[in-house]
Amino acid sequence: MPASEEYLSGIRITRVMDCLADQTKIRVLATPARDLQEILPYLAALLPQAGYNHGAGILTLMREGRLITVYPQLVTLAKAADEDDAQAVLEWLWDRINEAHRQRSQLTPCLERRRMPRLLDVYRLLPGGNCRRCGEATCIAMAARLVFAEARLADCPRLAEPEFADNRTRLAEWLGRESQTEA
């Protein structure tokens, strides 16, 4: 990418620690090469599945089961497999930040508070009935797997039924990783 279009030149891991949620994973602290305050509203617009607090300057999202929190001068990442995995997720974030910068004239910056979908929010949009067709014993278990990006919407066959089309669309928007037509 030409340097004139690059907002951020990189994100550097500054500390690696044990993950509090999963002892087999790590968490990292990373420092962006510049302050992110002015780009955060555009990044939130680009990533509608992210939680965002404009007043506090905090963006939070899940990416393939990893929790990412972006502050103006700090990025935290939890549940990474190892440093290489953490670096790959940070590179994905770096790309999104630069993409938000390039697209800022087409994006409406997010200036309000928006929360990430919670487990019960996702659960309420599933068809219910604990049919087990997804391979899980309960719909709440499926909701948890969706929230942590361990399952796909397509794993719930009932979401493909016409009566659940609106729920499927809303879940796809919230979770930010599948279209309603994905098989």
Of 54, 76, 102, the last residue of a domain is 102
What are the φ and ψ backbone dihedral angles of 157, each rounded to 5 degrees? -60, -30
Strand partners, 32: 11
Q: What pTM, to 2 d.p., does this model score? A: 0.76
Q: Quick one: pLDDT at residue 4?
A: 55
Q: Is 13 or 50 the better-scoring residue by pLDDT?
A: 13
pLDDT tens digit sequence for 22-75: 899 999 999 999 999 999 999 999 998 889 999 999 999 888 878 899 999 999
Among residues of the chain, what percentage have pLDDT more than 90? 70
Domain region containing 160? 119-175
Q: Is residue 113 domain-resident?
A: no
Average pLDDT of the segment spanning 82-111: 96
Domain count, the chain: 2
User: Helices (DSSP H) in the chain: which residue ranges?
Assistant: 40-46, 83-102, 119-125, 139-147, 165-175
Q: Is residue 180 domain-resident?
A: no
pLDDT tens digit sequence for 160-176: 999 999 999 988 877 76
Q: Which of 14-28, 33-47, 90-104, 105-119 has the lowest mean pLDDT?
A: 105-119
Instruction: Report d(CA 99, CA 80) in Å as an integer.
Output: 23
Q: Quick one: pLDDT at residue 183?
A: 35
Tokens representing 109 are: 């910056």
Does 180 score more than 60 pLDDT?
A: no
Question: Are residues 77 and 68 in contact, defined by beta-carbon separation less than 8 angstroms?
Answer: yes
Same domain flag for 77 and 9: yes
Q: Is residue 110 domain-resident?
A: no
